[in-house]
Each structure stands twice: as structure tokens, then as C-alpha cells.
Structure 1
Amino acid sequence: MRIKFVFLSIILISQITVFAQEVITPEKAIALALENNYGIKLAKTDVEVAKNNASILNSGYLPSLTGNAGATYNLDNTEAEFSDGRVTTLNGAESSRYNASIDLNYVLFDALGRSYDYKQLKETQQLTELQARETIENTIIQLFTVYYSVSELTENNDALLETFAISKDRLIRAQYQFEYGQSTKLAVLNAEVDINNDSISLMNSKQQLNNSKRDLNLVLGNTLDDEFDIDAIVEFNNLYNKDELLEKAKANNISLLQVDKSIDINKLGIKSEKSTMFLPTIGLTGSYGWNKNNNNAASFVSVSTNTGLSGGLNLSWNLFDGGSNITRVRNAKINLEANNIQKEQLLVTVERDFNNAWDDYQNKLSIYRLQEENIKTSQNNFDRTEEKFKIGQANSIEFRQAQLNLLNAELSKNRAKYLAKLAEFQLLQLSGEILNISF
């Protein structure tokens, strides 16, 4: 009864995915990740902020326009003495003043600092876009690490199902042989132990597969249903040219591109600091205003109203600021030198990483090819052992060993295949080509 229950459980596990499910291809997985991955969404918001910062509205090229208005009321006790000797005393004399104006302030020339600052903002925007690209590249690597884990576990699950079916066949055969007196109870017990072990392995594999599917769904922004399948077809590109890829790595590696952009930004920073040392700042001011005064009786004029336009130019020249500007220029030059050193170091590191990745890819690809050949050998060995087992020339231990050898060969082949594919992606990422992959 216990064996029948195990059979039923395995059948339910293996048949639960028979119903039509959504198939996620690599192309679809990339599209879903680009649109829904949370890390990529956050990177896009950083790019939008950088675009806003680099707009004309944040450049300093536009004038400022300010509106002002005010009112004042006075209640005074006043004693006024005139030149002819008359004295006038006013108690509770009222007066009021009203004003309104529109004021313009515009920097006509600021020693070119504004120009360099604006260029820096544009370069910073491009640096932010490169940082977003790095996030996308890392997300794609993360995506396919999980994607191929799901694919590997799916194929492993199929191999374990096949192994379980073989063990079930063996148990049925052992039971028949025992009933007809052709075998001992020990053969039945051994078959029961093996089929129980196979069922445990199958259930563990199924649980790992479910966990990996949830991990994949998380990378895709939780956009998939609970049950889905993936396209497990894997192809390798054997036409890569090492020298061409290395040159692409030196030109397009995302870390190198970011260092280059930082160097450009620091060069503009040096020019901005230098410009304030040698050139003045010229500003334009303008105002259009209205003023009304209601004076008390002690004044010669009771009411006065003024409207008018005023304007002016101002010049400011920082002849010497105690050496702060000189210090900033010197530090900016040192930072630029540090960036150049960092680039040299990064070039050496990228070349080393590329060579390691190239060798790793070639090695893993060769291992996968050998594992494919090993499958053929293991399958041939199992087929021969199975034939001998059926006619009594091989015992159950020999049969089980051949069965496990075949299963291990299949699992090793699956592992080698997906490790090789991930090694290919690592190579493409170093070369700056990960966003150009095709399937």
C-alpha cells in the first residue's frame, strides 16, 4: 500500500505541469526584466533626475524675475516748526505708503563658469546613463543565472522522472519474479529502497525548481503566473574572435566608459575653476516699480505717486581670494591625475578578466562537449546492463550502478551546459556586448 501511495504522489508531481502553461523565452524574459525589474526602474529614475539637472532651466543661463509688493500705515503725533516761527501740532496724523515692482536680475557674463558648469551637467547625465546601463547589464546576468537554473532543474527533473520510471519497472519485475519463485524477497526489498530514494530525489528536485521559478519571477518584477515553463534550448556561438572581442572590451567595457566620462567631467571642472581666476562677472539689473505715498498734514506734499523703470550694470572681479581658488584648481588637477591612473589600472584589470573569461568559456564549452560524449557511453553501458539484468546475467546492484551512472552523467551534462552558457554571457559583458546578444 505504501508503494502504491508513492507511485500516486510521483504521478501527481510529474503530471501537474501537463496543462498548458506560459512559455518564457529568453527574448521575452529580457523584455519583461527591462520593463518591470525593480533595480532597472530605480536606475531609470536616476536618469530622469540627471536629465532634469542638465536642462536649460538648471543651467544659470536664464534670468530671474521677481515680483515685490508692500504697504505701510503710520499713525503719528507730530510737532512741526516752520521757518517763519509757526508751530503746528498734529495728534493721530495718518500716513501710508504703497509699492509694487517687478525686478530683473541676469548674469551677462560669469567668467565662463556657467558654460563649463552646464557642460559638466550634460556629462554627468551621460555618466548616469552609463551607470543605468551597468545596472541593466548586471540584471541581465542575474536574470540568466536564475533562468538557466530553472532550465537545468527542469531537465534534471525530467531525468529523475525517467530514472523513477525505470526503478518502478524494476520493482514490478522483481515482484513478479518473487511471486513465481524466480527471485528472493531481497530483490523486492532492494527495489523498494531504490524507488523510495528516487522518489525523494524527485520531490527535492521539484521543490528546488519551484524555488528557482519564484526567484526568476522576482527578477522579472513579479509579472508571471505561479505556473510557467521556459524555453530550455541553448545554443553556443563558436565564431567569436578573441582579438576582436578584446578590442571591444577596451572600447566598450562599461567600467572603462564610466572612468572616461569621469575624466571628461574633471577636465571641465578644472576649466571652470580657472576661469574665475582671470575673468570678471558682469550682471544686469532692472526694475519696473510703482510707489504711492499718502503723507500727513505736516508734509508739504500730501500725496505722491511714482512709476518708473530703472536698470543697471554691475561688475565683479575676484582679484585674489586668499588662495582658495588656486587650491581648488590644484586639487582638481590631482583628481584628474588619479582618474587617469585609475583608467590605466582598469585597462590592465579588464584585459586580465577578459583573458580569464575567454579561457573559462572555452574550458567549460569543452567540458560540456565531453559530457555529451559521456552521456552516450553511459547510455550504452546502461542498455547493455539492462539486457543482462533481464536475462539474469547481471544482479540488481550492477543494474542500479549503471542506472545511477546514467543519471549522474545526465545531471553533469545539464550542469556543464548551463555553466558554459553563463560563462559566455560573462565574456560578452566584459566585452560590452551583453546588450547585443541574440538567441
Structure 2
Amino acid sequence: MLKPSRPQLGRYYLLLSLALALLFPTPSAAQTEMGLEELITLALEQNYQIKIFRNAERVADNANTIGNAGMLPTVVLNAEQRRAINNSRQQFFTGDSQQANNASRNSSSIGVEANWIIFDGLAMFARRERLEQLAVLSRADTRFLVEQTVADLAQAYYQLQRETELLKAFQQSLDVSQERVRFAEQTLAIGTGNELDLQLARVDRNTDSSLVVNQSILIGEVTLAINRLLNRDLTAEIIPTDSLRLSTNLRLPELLESAQSNNAGVKQQRLAEMLAQTEIDILNGTRYPEVSLFGRYDYGRQVNEIGFLASSRTFGPEYGIRVRFNLFAGNRDKIARENAVILAESEQLRTSDVQLQVAQAVRAAHLRWSRSLELARLEQASLEAARAALEIAQRQLELSAITSLDFRIIQLNALNAETRFLEARFTAKNQEIELLRLSGKVLEG
């Protein structure tokens, strides 16, 4: 019979050592036991995308003022200083003449002017409402991102938990395979076993070792994704502490009602519809005259070396009312209003479409969740039966009442049952998180 070479054994123990190092890090390695709520708190504080959207929210809030809406007067200060040097020759009707070379003329002026539009067809109030809606829309955009980030983080967290539990299952299977190798070596040593059973046991042990190594790598990848969302050291280890619990009382009528009121996408679209209507109100203002009050105070002084006046000075106030009415602009205003009405109708249709899409998504997600929940129950029952069968098979193997091949089949059935159960439970949890996100309740969980 062929025996494994020393290089093969060396590679096996190297892989096993790596797997054990990943599974049981040394005390000096950074280990952090964290619950989902703690991770969400860190993400809301540190996530780069959330910070960017919150900055955009601050910009929208800063822009939401009556001054930006055109409700406040404008005040302008003008100041000017001029100096001119001219060659001049002047001939008068009286026969006299005047001539000068390099004659200078100095003038200076300063004035303050205020202008206040007091009526523009109520367009200023529509602009004010638009600024308020833009601020609300910015907050809705931030909430949409926050909800999506929380949902992504929750799914990644429970995936990390699933992969960690699956790693434990692989490790337990490896322990069983290692014990099987030990048992095969003992039986061979006392003459009751055979070389074939020993080699098959070693092959199965190496296969289980590979599963442990690959699973450890997968856990590292999921940890990287979580740390990126948290904006922390990508290599920092996360040990999940929350147990995965499945909700069983997600009622479809309540979810549908909540989605129409709280879904972030629906809220965003309704605000877009309101903005379109505000644009119509702003353009309607062009149908009316614009009335403004103005006032100014000027001071001016001039000194001439030639001309009728040697010097002059003027100062004083000026005020009045100004009316501006656009009589004809090539029908551009009319076309703009008509297009705004069409766009508003499109936004209304889009709102209805988004509401229908959300309702469809909630119904589909609820259907998938219900089926996943039932599947998780079935897989749990299968897992319990597979574990019981494995315990029986282990006792029978020790009594040589079962072949090594039959034992391996039972062992793999137990491992597959564990994998299917963890996958079914994780899928049901994912559907639960998606239902909460669609209904606008993900931040309440």
C-alpha cells in the first residue's frame, strides 16, 4: 500500500496550523466582541458616504433662507474716483475761444442703493417653499442611505455569524476525522484494521482541513467588508456576539401600509412631485408685474481746469417705486410653464409607479421570507436527525459494525445538513431585514 510522503504530510500540517491560527488567534491579536447595535452606531458616526450625505444636508439647510428666496432687499454700495487729462479747444458763438493743453478733470462719487421687490406674482413664496422642500429632500436622501447602510451592515454581520458557526461545524468535522485517523491507526497496529481504511481516513481528514482553511479565508473577507462600512482598521477582527433570531410576526397588511408611508424611496418621489409643482408656481409669477421699491443716496464732486464749471458738488437722496411687466418674450415663458405642467404630471405618474413597485417588492419579499422561514424549520429538523445519526455511526464505527465508507457518508450528511440549516436561517434573516427596509422600519429593529 502507498503511504503519504513527508512533503505531503508537511503540507497537511502547515494547512492545519494555519487553520487553527485563524480559528484560535493568539492573545496578542486584536479581537473585538461586538454586537450589531454597536456596529450600527459606529457606522452612523464613521461611514464616509453617510458623512458626505450629511454635508449635503447641511448645504441644503444653509440655502433654505428668505434671502435666497428673494424676500429681502438688496443694498449696494458704489464708489468711483476718476481723473482725466485732455487737450481741449472750444469756440463759442460769441466769438470767444478757449484752449488748454493737458487740462485735468477730477471727479469722485459714492452712493448707496437699496432695491426691494415687494411683489413678483408670489414667485418668491414659491421659491421659499422650494428651498424648504429641497432641504427635506436632502434629509430624505440621507435617511435612504442610512437605511441601506444599516441593512447592508446587518446582513454582513449575520453572514459573519453564519460563516463563524459554519467554521465551527467544519472544525468539529475535522476533529471527528482526526479521531477516525487515530482509530484506524490503532486498529492497524493491533492487526484488526487495514491500510486502506487508514489512507481513506487521512484523505477525509485532509479534505476537512481544506474546508477549515477556506472557511477562515471567507470569514476574513466578510470582516473586511464590515470594517469598510465602519471606516475602521480593515484587518481588525470582529467576533459577533448577537444570536440570530428570526421574527415570526411580520404581517403583510401592516408592512404594506408602513411602506406607503415610511419607505424612503416613496418619500423621495413624493418630494420630487412637490418640487415639480413648485416650479409651476414660480413660473406663474412671470404672468404678473414685478413691483419694487428703490432708494439711493449719492454724493459727487468734480474739479475741472477748463470748461464752464471750475468745480461742482452734488449730494442727496433719491427714491421711488418701479414696475416691470414683461409684455412679450417670444412665448418662452408660456412654453416653460406648459413644460413644467407636463413634468409635474410625469412626476405624479412616477409617484404612482414607485408606490406600486414598492408594494410589489414588499409582497415578493414577504413571500420569500415566509418560504425561507418554513425551510429553516425543516432544515433544523433535518439537522437534529443528522446529528443523532452521526452519534450512532460513531459508536458503530468504534465497534466495527459499520464500514469506513458508510461512516464518511453519514458524516458528510451531517455536515451538509448543518450547512443547509445555517444557509436557510441566514436567508430567512436576510429577507426579514429586506422587509424591514422596504417598510421603513429597519432603523426601529
Report if TM-score (shorter chain) is over 0.5.
yes
Offset at 1:389? Answer: 0.7
What is residue 255 of structure 1 aligned with on the other side?
A: 265
Cα distance in structure 2, aligned partners of 1:93 and 1:142: 80
Is contact 2:273–2:351 with CA below 8 Å preserved after alignment? no
Offset at 1:162? Answer: 0.7
What is residue 148 of structure 2 aligned with on the other side?
A: 138
**Structure 1 residue 243 corresponds to structure 2 residue 243:** no
Is contact 1:386–1:399 with CA below 8 Å preserved after alignment? yes
What is residue 414 of structure 1 aligned with on the other side?
A: 422
**Structure 1 residue 289 corresponds to structure 2 residue 293:** no
**Structure 1 residue 163 corresponds to structure 2 residue 173:** yes
Cα distance in structure 1, aligned partners of 2:208 and 2:194: 22
Cα distance in structure 1, aligned partners of 2:386 and 2:321: 91
Q: Which moved more, 1:74-83 or 1:365-374?
A: 74-83
CA deviations 1:393-417 (Å, max 9, x no partner) are 0111111111111111111111111
What is residue 222 of structure 2 aligned with on the other side?
A: 212
What is residue 25 of structure 1 aligned with on the other side?
A: 35
What is residue 3 of structure 2 aligned with on the other side?
A: none
Q: Which runs of 5+ in 1 are unaligned?
A: none
Partner of 1:291: helix, strand, or coil? strand
- Residue identity opposite 1:39 in structure 2: Q
Is contact 1:90–1:298 with CA below 8 Å preserved after alignment? no
- Residue identity opposite 1:370 in structure 2: L
How many positions carry a matched residue from both structures?
A: 435
Cα distance in structure 1, aligned partners of 2:394 and 2:384: 15
CA deviations 1:270-291 (Å, max 9, x no partner) are 22222321x2101222222221
Matching residue within 364, 374, 399 for 1:366: 374
TM-score by length of 1: 0.93
Cα distance in structure 2, aligned partners of 1:296 and 1:406: 111
Cα distance in structure 2, aligned partners of 1:157 and 1:151: 10
Identity %: 25
Is contact 1:69–1:100 with CA below 8 Å preserved after alignment? yes
Q: Which runs of 5+ in 2 are unaligned?
A: 1-5
Offset at 1:237? Answer: 2.1
Offset at 1:104? Answer: 1.7
Is contact 2:173–2:208 with CA below 8 Å preserved after alignment? yes
Offset at 1:136? Answer: 1.5
Is contact 1:78–1:298 with CA below 8 Å preserved after alignment? no
Cα distance in structure 1, aligned partners of 2:280 and 2:414: 67
Matching residue within 122, 129, 132 for 1:119: 129
Change (3 A) 1:269 1:181: same
Is contact 1:66–1:104 with CA below 8 Å preserved after alignment? yes
Is contact 2:155–2:433 with CA below 8 Å preserved after alignment? no
Is contact 1:36–1:223 with CA below 8 Å preserved after alignment? no
What is residue 172 of structure 1 aligned with on the other side?
A: 182
Matching residue within 377, 400, 407 for 1:399: 407
What is residue 99 of structure 1 aligned with on the other side?
A: 109
Change (3 A) 1:319 1:75: closer
Change (3 A) 1:7 1:129: closer
Alignment RMSD (CA, Å): 2.0
Is contact 1:246–1:354 with CA below 8 Å preserved after alignment? yes
Cα distance in structure 1, aligned partners of 2:209 and 2:67: 67
What is residue 187 of structure 1 aligned with on the other side?
A: 197
TM-score by length of 2: 0.92
Offset at 1:215? Answer: 1.1
What is residue 280 of structure 1 aligned with on the other side?
A: 289
